[in-house]
């Protein structure tokens, strides 16, 4: 079955259309791969029977000549998406047992295009984390290992999604990105991850973290696969008032279009103290690749970059404290009984939320409270505008920006850090795009001397995902990143 797992999504679609393989065979191979790599803990629910039934339906549509864009392709779903009749918990104890009676718009779009749901994937609790270590189901593991064979985090919050695509236990996966939760794990696991422009994918049916920042996007093995999945995910949705009516570009066509004549900005503020030398070298290498491919490199300045993280850590917790007020032990999820209604709320939320979620709710509650609102929340909203203006100015003279995706490669599971701020620094290169609502893609660029993947990030103008796919397509072609992780399905370790 290993050869079925070798096919990327575009190849699998061709093989399915030519009847060289069946969807049932393909999905069976992926269910087997998910079971074989269960030690990576990237699935929290495997819906094998459901997947095989969907695959059988896909085979009928292929035979009938009505195959959709993703017909028969096995897809893993981050546990933040509500899936009808299938447990959806945001990897939090407070939602244990929650079974939505409805389907999120993004996943509904995937199934309408013929995609097959394999199951639900591990993530940080309510998507709050950068290592998948805050999950109520325990950490997901990165299939890549360094020389010392320590278990490494897959990144977060969409850690299970990145881990599963890298380990070949899902051909594609959905993720969400509030501050880097698609791009950072994609970089840590050596796969391609896109955060689309804010408004490009509907947020309806996705468990909310920070509503002005949250955006869904695809994880795939290749850039072309990513464009394919993105084309099926995106839609205008009346149920999300921030959903765009801007038409989707030809993303598949963009992948091989090259970068000749494009102006690529290199933001000088993205050189950070304490940045890994290998990250800097890859960034320089990426610039050289794009120049050789006919792009013009332009030095640009984004002067408010250093304020992006503190701004984010006011706005995101503030929105989270408001969004998470709904978990009250009354309508769904966990309840801890108490004498009074308030006592029941307090006991339920203390037992149901993990430490990091509680910390962020408290920060958010504080910055929104009377007397502090102006000093924190309003101030952060003003700096947010300055950060967005930096990008607006840069995009007057460049078509896209090239930056590192992360300041380092994947770190060990259980790394002891007393200071939450140190963990927050993982998102230093990814957070600005969320604050400005811009699209960003992480694409693998190479390996560290220890054999771990590093990624490059490309940022673009709002609703110009096509330019990201052009640049990422060139990086992918030149980088020739064909290495695979040791702990992959059908692999050696």
Partner 1 sequence: MSVDKTTVAKIARLARINVPDKRLEPLAAELNGILNWIAELDEVNTETVQPLASVTGHALPMRDDVVTDGDRLNDVLSNAPEGASGFFVVPKVVE
In the region spanning residues 398 to 427, those forming contacts with partner 1, defined by CB under 8 A, are: 419-421
Q: Catalytic residue, from 157, 161, 169, 467: name it.
A: 157
- Shortest distance, position 366 Cβ to partner 1, whole Å: 5
- Choose the binding region for partner 1 from 126-134, 147-155, 258-266, 301-309 (rule: CB under 8 A): 301-309
How far apart CA 199 and CA 462 sit, in angstroms, is 10
C-beta neighbour count of 89 within 10 angstroms: 25
C-beta closer to partner 1: residue 93 or 285? 93
How far apart CA 46 and CA 269 sit, in angstroms, is 43
When binding is defined by CB under 8 A, the residue of 346, 412, 451, 477 that contacts partner 1 is 346
Q: How many residues bind partner 1 (CB under 8 A)?
A: 72
How far apart CA 364 and CA 314 sit, in angstroms, is 7
Contacting partner 1 within 198-227 (CB under 8 A):
198-199, 212
157 part of the active site: yes
In the block, tokens 């000549």 appear at 65
269 near partner 1, judged by CB under 8 A? no
> What is the 8-class DSSP label of residue 247?
P
Q: Catalytic residue, from 22, 78, 195, 243: name it.
A: 78
When binding is defined by CB under 8 A, the residue of 19, 20, 63, 97 that contacts partner 1 is 97
- Shortest distance, position 405 Cβ to partner 1, whole Å: 21
C-beta neighbour count of 396 within 10 angstroms: 9
Backbone angles phi, psi at 216, to 5 degrees: -85, 155
Contacting partner 1 within 37-66 (CB under 8 A):
none
Angle of helix 223-233 versus helix 465-479 axis, rounded to 10: 160
C-beta of residue 231 within 8 angstroms of C-beta of residue 198: no
When binding is defined by CB under 8 A, the residue of 330, 415, 417, 449 that contacts partner 1 is 330
How far apart CA 280 and CA 275 sit, in angstroms, is 7
Site string for partner 1, 430-469 (x = CB under 8 A): -----xxx------------------------x-------
385 near partner 1, judged by CB under 8 A? yes
- Shortest distance, position 231 Cβ to partner 1, whole Å: 21
- Start-to-end CA distance of the chain, whole Å, equals 17
96 near partner 1, judged by CB under 8 A? no
When binding is defined by CB under 8 A, the residue of 126, 137, 270, 345 that contacts partner 1 is 345
> What is the 8-class DSSP label of residue 377?
I
C-beta closer to partner 1: residue 61 or 388? 388
When binding is defined by CB under 8 A, the residue of 241, 277, 482, 492 that contacts partner 1 is 241
Tokens of 323: 């969004």
Q: Could you give the C-alpha distances from 16 to 10, 73, 146, 219, in angstroms and in order? A: 10, 9, 36, 21
272 near partner 1, judged by CB under 8 A? no
301 near partner 1, judged by CB under 8 A? no
C-beta closer to partner 1: residue 222 or 321? 321
180 near partner 1, judged by CB under 8 A? no
78 part of the active site: yes
339 near partner 1, judged by CB under 8 A? yes
The C-alpha torsion from 402 through 407 and 410 to 411, rounded to 10°, is -170
Q: Using DSSP, state whether 245 is helix, strand or coil.
A: coil
> What is the 8-class DSSP label of residue 196?
P
Strand spans (E) along 350-435:
400-404
Point out the residues that are catalytic. Answer: 78, 157, 181
């Amino acid at each position: 079955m290993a050869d079925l797992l070798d096919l990327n999504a575009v190849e699998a679609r061709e093989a399915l259309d030519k009847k060289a393989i069946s969807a049932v065979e393909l999905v069976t191979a992926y269910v087997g791969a998910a079971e074989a790599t269960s030690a990576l803990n990237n699935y929290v629910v495997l819906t094998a029977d459901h997947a095989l039934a969907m695959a059988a339906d896909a085979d009928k549509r292929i035979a009938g000549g009505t195959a959709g864009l993703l017909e028969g392709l096995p897809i893993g779903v981050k546990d933040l998406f509500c899936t009808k009749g299938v447990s959806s918990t945001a990897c939090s104890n407070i939602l244990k047992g929650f079974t939505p009676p409805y389907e999120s718009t993004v996943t509904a779009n995937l199934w309408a295009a013929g995609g097959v749901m394999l199951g639900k994937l591990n993530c940080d609790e309510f998507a709050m984390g950068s290592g998948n270590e805050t999950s109520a189901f325990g950490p997901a593991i990165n299939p890549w290992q360094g020389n010392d064979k320590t278990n490494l985090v897959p990144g977060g919050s969409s850690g299970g999604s990145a881990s599963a695509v890298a380990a070949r236990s899902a051909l594609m996966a959905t993720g969400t990105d509030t501050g880097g939760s698609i791009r950072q794990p994609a970089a840590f696991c050596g796969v391609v991850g896109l955060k689309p422009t804010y408004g490009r994918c509907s947020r309806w049916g996705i468990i909310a973290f920070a509503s002005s920042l949250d955006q869904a996007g695809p994880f795939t093995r290749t850039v072309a696969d990513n464009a394919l999945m993105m084309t099926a995910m995106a839609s205008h949705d009346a149920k999300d008032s921030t959903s765009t009516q801007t038409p989707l570009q030809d993303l598949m066509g963009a992948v091989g279009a090259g970068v000749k004549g494009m102006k690529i900005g290199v933001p000088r503020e993205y050189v950070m103290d304490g940045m890994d030398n290998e990250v800097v070298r890859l960034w320089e290498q990426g610039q050289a690749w794009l120049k050789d491919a006919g792009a013009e490199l332009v030095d640009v300045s984004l002067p408010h970059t250093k304020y992006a993280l503190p701004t984010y850590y006011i706005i995101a917790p503030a929105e989270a404290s408001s969004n998470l007020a709904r978990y009250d032990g009354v309508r769904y999820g966990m309840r801890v009984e108490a004498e009074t209604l308030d006592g029941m709320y307090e006991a339920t939320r203390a037992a149901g939320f993990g430490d990091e979620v509680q910390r962020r709710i408290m920060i958010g509650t504080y910055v929104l409270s009377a007397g502090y609102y102006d000093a924190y929340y309003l101030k952060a909203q003003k700096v947010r505008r300055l950060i967005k203006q930096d990008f607006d100015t840069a995009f007057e003279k460049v078509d896209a920006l090239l930056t590192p995706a992360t300041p380092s490669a994947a770190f060990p599971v259980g790394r002891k850090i007393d200071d939450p701020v140190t963990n927050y620094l993982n998102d230093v290169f990814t957070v600005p795009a969320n604050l400005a609502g811009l699209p960003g893609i992480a694409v693998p660029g190479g390996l560290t001397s220890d054999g771990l993947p590093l990624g490059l990030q490309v940022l673009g103008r709002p609703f110009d995902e096509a330019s990201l796919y052009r640049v990422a397509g060139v990086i992918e072609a030149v980088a020739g990143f064909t290495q695979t992780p040791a702990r992959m399905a059908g692999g050696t370790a």
